[in-house]
Structure 1
Amino acid sequence: MVSCCICSKSFKIECVDVSNTQARKIHKKTGLSWTCKCCSQVGNDINELKEVIVALQNEIKLLKSAISTTSQSPTNSLLDTEKIIQEISEREKRKCNIIIYGNNEENKTSKNEQLAVDTVFVKDVLSSLSVTDNDNIKPIRLGKFDATKTDRRRPIKITLPSENSILSVLRMSKELKKSTRFNNISITRDRTPMQLELYRNTKIELNQRIANGESNLRIRYDRGIPVIISSKLPVSPTVN
């Protein structure tokens, strides 16, 4: 038998793939330990939660630094604290959303017809990115519908089951450029107005640095924050 070092439950070694030699060392507490599958999963969940907490702490520091450069009255300080809380809450709401750009709207007479067409399109895009968990996808067109336009490309927002699904889609989205059908389609996270403003400012800085003679620069997200980094290959001033 071998005992889990966390929950202390005992298991038969042939059931958990532990050798007799290993079991004896674990029993004698020689420094070798073993963790059952259940406790290992709990440990993995804890590590994921720690990463989320660290990311939120970084976001809080960034938001606080944006408002700490000027002296403020107690009232203003409370208002800024409330803005920080609202921003974090808004980011949490959007964390499983993505925005799909570039798909032209069909000339449909009803919202239900357009919804059906958009649903098929979104599922086809996700399938091309090897995302199979898309049964409950509900696409939402963003912005006001303008019937006078013949070329309507309002972005489509969708919600995926988990943040891992979002990361998978974003990593694979570059493959769309190689597709004949979806080469004009791009995908991004659903970002808050503050996040979009931060990206725009970073993009302006990037363009200025390139105009001043710097090369091999691009924008990369580091823990959710856009930063300018050096790249081995030259890039154009316009960065998606």
Structure 2
Amino acid sequence: MSTSCTCCGRNADSCKIVNCCVCGKSYKIECVDLTNAEARKIHQKSGLSWSCKNCAKIGSDINSLKAVIVALQEEIKVLKLSVSTVPPSTATSASLLQTEKVIQEVSERSKRKCNIIIYGRSELINKNKTEQSEADTVFVKDVLTALKIGDLGDLKPIRLGKYDPTKQDRRRPIKITLSSEEDVVSVLRASKSLKTTDPWKNIFISRDRTKMQNELYKSVRNELHERLSNGEQNLIIKYKDGIPNIVHSEN
């Protein structure tokens, strides 16, 4: 029995087709980079499930929301304690305020998910905004070329922060908006090589984090520094489901 592939539209035998465990759509294993062995395990229902790219993206967004909730749990505990001592009308207001904060945080993360921030690039002296933008565009393309990243389309770098002509060595961060989260992940993974490349040793690339994400990262970084100072070794910060965690390095 043959089935049509959602990706390419061609028919294939059922053994060469996998179905998304979320939406149920069918895909040829060649279209989704699965091996015959992986497909057999999925068909045998041996505990291995598979979801298509779109459904996996939805799952990532859900994990992002979970990360927001986890980051707010301690603050909610404090709010609950304070709410128990105030009149009901005030308690309701506090609950609504907390809900609004969660919604705003999720919305802000969604707006920033396709952005990257580049740190460490000096600004031109005695140049206007247009000239600086043109120079930044060339710089960004040179960095992506060094990282062996393909064409990511028309990039428009934006310097963050207020321009201060009194500073001799201005290094305002550069924000770049890419086409997708997949492009962001590709750039971040490749950016690790900058530390070993002479022209780019002072350049650092990160996600465009919200204030809450930055505070969480700072807290984890301080904990890492304290644990290393106390003698623990081979510890690094690694992200899982959008949340920074301290883990042991594999090296």
> Where on the TM-score scale, by shorter chain, does this alignment land: which range?
0.7 to 0.9
Where does the alignment leave 5 or more consecutive residues of structure 1 unmatched?
A: 27-31, 234-240
The aligned residue for residue 151 of structure 1 is 169
Report the CA distance shift for 1:110/1:75 in structure 2 as closer, same or farther (over 3 A): same
Counterpart of 1:115 in 2: which secondary structure? helix
Query: CA offset at residue 232 of structure 1?
Result: 4.8
Does the alignment pair 1:118 with 2:136?
Answer: yes
Do 1:139 and 1:157's aligned partners in 2 also have CA atoms closer than 8 Å? Answer: yes
Query: CA offset at residue 54 of structure 1?
Result: 3.6
The aligned residue for residue 62 of structure 1 is 70
Runs of 4+ in 1 over 3 A off after TM superposition: 32-36
Distance 1:136 1:154 in 2: 21
Paired AA for residue 115 in structure 1: S
Aligned residues: 213
Comparing 179-188 and 191-200, the one that deviates more? 179-188
* Pairing partner for 2:180 from 162, 172, 179: 162
The aligned residue for residue 218 of structure 1 is 236
Aligned pairs for 1:1-240 (under 5 A) are 2-4=1-3, 16=11, 34=17, 39-40=26-27, 44-70=52-78, 71=80, 72=83, 73-233=91-251
Distance 2:3 2:18 in 1: 5
For residues 10-50 of structure 1, the C-alpha deviation after alignment (integer angstroms, 9 at most, x for no partner) is x9xxx75x6xxxx6xx6xxxxx57469x8317962343234
Query: CA offset at residue 5 of structure 1?
Result: 7.4
Distance 1:6 1:119 in 2: 40
What is the TM-score with the length of structure 2 in the denominator?
Answer: 0.75
What is the TM-score with the length of structure 1 in the denominator?
Answer: 0.79
Comparing 57-66 and 182-191, the one that deviates more? 57-66
Calculate percent identity across the aligned residue pairs. 45
Query: CA offset at residue 135 of structure 1?
Result: 3.3
Distance 1:101 1:60 in 2: 25
Do 1:141 and 1:156's aligned partners in 2 also have CA atoms closer than 8 Å? Answer: yes
Query: CA offset at residue 184 of structure 1?
Result: 1.3
Query: CA offset at residue 161 of structure 1?
Result: 0.8
Do 1:95 and 1:190's aligned partners in 2 also have CA atoms closer than 8 Å? Answer: yes
Distance 2:149 2:161 in 1: 26
Do 2:65 and 2:106's aligned partners in 1 also have CA atoms closer than 8 Å? Answer: no
Counterpart of 1:221 in 2: which secondary structure? strand
Do 1:5 and 1:35's aligned partners in 2 also have CA atoms closer than 8 Å? Answer: no
Query: CA offset at residue 199 of structure 1?
Result: 0.7
Counterpart of 1:220 in 2: which secondary structure? strand
Distance 1:231 1:140 in 2: 35
Do 2:238 and 2:246's aligned partners in 1 also have CA atoms closer than 8 Å? Answer: yes
Distance 2:172 2:54 in 1: 39
For residues 165-187 of structure 1, the C-alpha deviation after alignment (integer angstroms, 9 at most, x for no partner) is 00000000011122222121110
Bigger-Rg structure (1/2): 1
Distance 1:136 1:151 in 2: 28
Counterpart of 1:227 in 2: which secondary structure? strand
For residues 169-209 of structure 1, the C-alpha deviation after alignment (integer angstroms, 9 at most, x for no partner) is 00000111222221211100000000000011111112222
Where does the alignment leave 5 or more consecutive residues of structure 2 unmatched?
A: 20-24, 33-50, 84-90
Do 2:68 and 2:105's aligned partners in 1 also have CA atoms closer than 8 Å? Answer: no
Report the CA distance shift for 1:65/1:130 in structure 2 as closer, same or farther (over 3 A): same
